[in-house]
Chains A and B, each alone.
Chain A
Amino acid sequence: MAFFILRRIGVMALTALCLTFVVFFLTNLAPNLEKLAKTQGNARMSDAEVVSWLDRNGYGGPLVVRYGEWLGVVPGWLREDPITGEWRGRCLARGQDPAEAARFCGLLQGDLGYSTVSATEVSSIIGGRLQLTGILMFWAFAVMVPSALLVGVLAGMREGSRTDRTLSTFSIASTATPEYVSGVIFIVLLASSQIGISPLLVEWGWLEGGTLFFGSARSAMDGVTFWNFTLPVMTIALYGMGYIARMTRASMAEVMMAQYIRTARLKGVKFSNIVMKHALRNALIAPFTVIMLQFPWLLNGVVIVETLFNYKGFGWTLVQAASNNDIELLLACSIVAVFVVLVTQLMSDIGYVFLNPRIRIS
């Protein structure tokens, strides 16, 4: 068991290393750097000026060395500016004495670099944004998982019944509705002042002008309320729900066919008892894996929903960083995303082994 976990962690570290290198390579291509030099320095720079700007700001030199600096295993660059005579470097705050600064400052030292667009430390931006996204994800999970499990168990306990067919069709429909479609439909139905429910409610005098729900979650960044957070949470939860529900249904249906369930039925155990006490625990092993693997998917959903609802969390930051060519911020976002994906994969692997008595005992 320990060997299994160690091996998984080893593979995971290797994967993380490869992935970060790929992202680093793709964000540090020559055109990216040229654009960076022109936005930071002067839009009408000549090619030679671009090269010298890049060199002065630590973007020169071979890619592998810069990757090492960013990772924190190669000492950060340090140069004396030929014009002003000032010492500048990766680990140096402006005006700091080079002797006092740390030699290494990269990911391993917890230094994520400097965002060129917003002119602040990346770590200070990422922290707050992740917190906002964490709230969104928490609520999305809190809505999605219980309802998906309920739908799946109800559908799977009597395979082929009318309930099963209705709920299965519902889950298929929910997997066919990506976030940008359900979000648009929700906004039109519930948060538009022109059509949908809100004008009706205003007409009936149940609502004082405005709309029932808010079409933008900007106010949710200060305080989450039912009215500004329902739509984003529902939008994320709906797309993921169908998939988990279908997996739960398949697993539940399989368990209900098992011999021991038939034995219990023949002994005369009540159907509700069979479902609650005998079937449920075994049926929930497979969905656990799926729920864990749903995290990366949720990350996608978060990016779309945050863009659609103007909620300035992690996904919104990622989009902004990518479209503004904010290299270090984008790198940090990728690290977070890749980290979430790999950790959930690891947890789902280990969790599966722990939960499944057949593997655990052997």
Chain B
Amino acid sequence: MEALSWSGDLGAFLNPVLMVAGLGFVAAFIANFMLTLVGLRPGEMVVNADHSLSLQRTPVDYTLMAMKYAVALFALGVLGYVIGGMILASPEQGGILGGMAARLTPVWLSLAALFAVSITFKRRLGLYGKLFDSPIGMIGFGLVMFWIFVAVFSGIIATHGPIDVISQMRNEVPGSPLPAPAEGQYAYYLLGGDNLGRDVFSRVIYGGFEVLKIAPLATLFAFMVGVTLGLPAGYYGGRLDTGITFVANLVLAFPVILLFYLLVTPEIVAAGIPNYLSMVLFVFPILFFSVLFNSRFRTDPPKRNLLVGGTVVIGGLAYLSLISNPSDPDLPMIFRLWPEVLDLFDIPGNLLIVFVSVVFVNSPTVFRIVRGIVLDIKTRDYVAAGQTRGEGPWYIMLWEILPNARGPLIVDFCLRIGYTTILLGTLGFFGLGVSPESPDWGSTINEGRRLLTIYPHPALPPALALMSLVLGLNLLADGLREESLKD
């Protein structure tokens, strides 16, 4: 069988379109730049004598218009590849791009459905709906949802397993056919094979799942820790504040990579340091929710007892199952006390360590942000009013201050997921990731970089994937910030 070309049959028609769009954009951009240098300005609205408006166009306007249409044409060309790939279905006709677009069909359909529904009802959806007023926010949201859907459908999209090795396919270029495809097996490596002969495309897809499994959850835990400590530090101030801030600054003064090396190396793991850390860090969510419910329903004991009791029982069970692993004889005694019967689930050792160290690195920054916001908000009148009404300090912190701090916190949450993704990638890049075989993007880049100048194709797709996800999160945060500032 022949190797696939990049664009297949579609290329004959679509490549010139993309080329024209690209060249047109560059030409218009240069022209625009030159004209602005010469001193021309875009045309302005002019109010006529009869109160009508007229727009005077200058050459600058025409270059801008050309740039706009070039971008639109480019988008159409890309859309053509997506739709063409979905229609043609067979990779021989669609080429590599068409083949990938065809595999991603469930993602395109879900994205289209989500955007259609959201834009239709955007006026009724609050801040989320307003996101669709800002193009930047919409692009960011689209990128993020793309990767979320890829993670959800990863089992359907991927053409091969993440660790399926076909040794003849070692370092083969994108579009190479399998030597002897079995019945029902996808006959090509769409993005080529890596240095062990695994499919790069499938690994990038499964890598998205790996990353999105850890990053948002770790960020959420970091927020629980940061919020639970930051609220009292900012609200009470004094010794408590000085103490916690000092510890937070200690953690922040560590260069992140040194900290990772200190936390993740096998010797440290053997000493059980990450387990002790997880023991401390995972208490905070239970603490947070217990205090949250207790402060709200203190006056209604039956309801309070139900909610707080439920939190403590369910949370405690999850907590103890999470931190203890009686079947692992290497762990210190304290983590093996919990009976095997009640140990609901075990997190594989390495995953727990990576998770804990990412939470540990992130929480001091969250703490600082929360503390700063609380210091600002506690001077407001409604806090004073709450204090005069005799509300308890925790009620004021959790039910008066926290809801009013949600804007900056949501924005930071998006940014921080992106940062956590970068951190996970860093861990993988230094070979400290979940496992050496794991398809997460950092580890894949690390494997691909050794032969980078000769075989660029294994390292480039995960690098671009990571970049697009983080870019999407940053743009989403930017759009959210802009829209939340508008009212």
Contacts and interface: CB of A to CB of B under 8 A. Distances in A.
B177 to A, nearest CB: 20
A31 interface: yes
B261 A338 contact: no
Interface string B356-382: 000000000000000000000000000
Interface in B132-183: 136
B261 A176 contact: no
B425 A180 contact: yes
A283 interface: no
Contact of B463 (A31, A181, A296): A181
A29 B271 CA distance: 7
B454 A193 contact: yes
A308 interface: yes
Contact of A187 (B418, B452, B473, B478): B452
B334 interface: no
B453 A299 contact: no
A325 B261 CA distance: 11
Contacts of B271: 29-31
A172 B254 CA distance: 25
Interface stretch (B90-98, B103-111, B464-472): B464-472
B453 A187 contact: yes
Given A27-B262, A300-B256, A304-B426, A15 B453 contact: no
A247 interface: no
A184 B250 contact: no
A315 B262 CA distance: 15
B262 A172 contact: no
B200 interface: no
A322 interface: yes
A178 B270 contact: no
Interface in B253-309: 253-258, 261-262, 265-268, 270-271, 273
B455 A176 contact: no
Classify chain B: how many residues form its interface, as a range: 35 or more
A140 interface: no
B459 interface: yes
Given A176-B467, A180-B445, A345 B253 contact: yes
A262 interface: no
A323 B261 CA distance: 8
Contacts of A192: 452-454, 456
Contacts of A315: 257
A348 to B, nearest CB: 13
Contacts of B452: 184, 187-188, 192, 215
B360 to A, nearest CB: 13
Instruction: Bin the interface of chain A by size.
Output: 35 or more
Contacts of B21: none
A215 B453 contact: yes
Contacts of B475: 169, 172
Interface in B409-467: 418, 422, 425-426, 429-430, 442, 445, 448-449, 452-456, 459-460, 463-464, 466-467
Most buried by B among A31, A173, A333: A31
Given A26-B273, A211-B453, A188 B460 contact: yes
Interface in A244-266: none
Contacts of B470: 176-178
A18 B456 contact: no
B249 interface: yes
Main secondary structure of the interface of A (DSSP, over half): helix
Contacts of A323: 261, 265
B426 A35 contact: no
Contacts of B454: 192-194
B253 A15 contact: yes
A57 interface: no
Contacts of A196: 456
B202 interface: no
Nearest to A242: B474
A63 interface: no
Contacts of A194: 453-456
B258 A337 contact: yes
Interface string A303-321: 1100110000001001100
A23 B442 CA distance: 26
Contact of B429 (A19, A168, A180, A325): A180
A338 B253 contact: yes
Contacts of A319: 257, 261, 430
A176 B268 contact: no
Interface string A19-48: 100110011011110010000000000000
Given A30-B271, A211-B453, A304-B426, A180 B255 contact: no
B287 to A, nearest CB: 24
Contact of B255 (A22, A185, A195, A296): A296
Given A172-B478, A304-B426, A338-B254, A325 B267 contact: yes
A329 B426 CA distance: 22
Contacts of B456: 187-188, 192, 194-196
Interface string A49-80: 00000000000000000000000000000000
B383 to A, nearest CB: 27
A175 interface: yes
A353 interface: no
A162 to B, nearest CB: 8
30 contacts: A15-B253, A26-B268, A29-B271, A29-B273, A31-B266, A31-B271, A32-B268, A169-B475, A173-B471, A176-B474, A177-B470, A181-B445, A184-B445, A185-B460, A191-B453, A192-B452, A192-B453, A192-B456, A194-B454, A194-B455, A194-B456, A211-B453, A300-B256, A303-B255, A308-B449, A318-B258, A322-B258, A322-B261, A325-B267, A333-B258
- Shortest Cβ-Cβ A-B pairs, 3 listed: A322-B261, A176-B471, A31-B267
Interface of B: 64, 136, 246, 249-250, 253-258, 261-262, 265-268, 270-271, 273, 418, 422, 425-426, 429-430, 442, 445, 448-449, 452-456, 459-460, 463-464, 466-467, 470-471, 473-475, 478
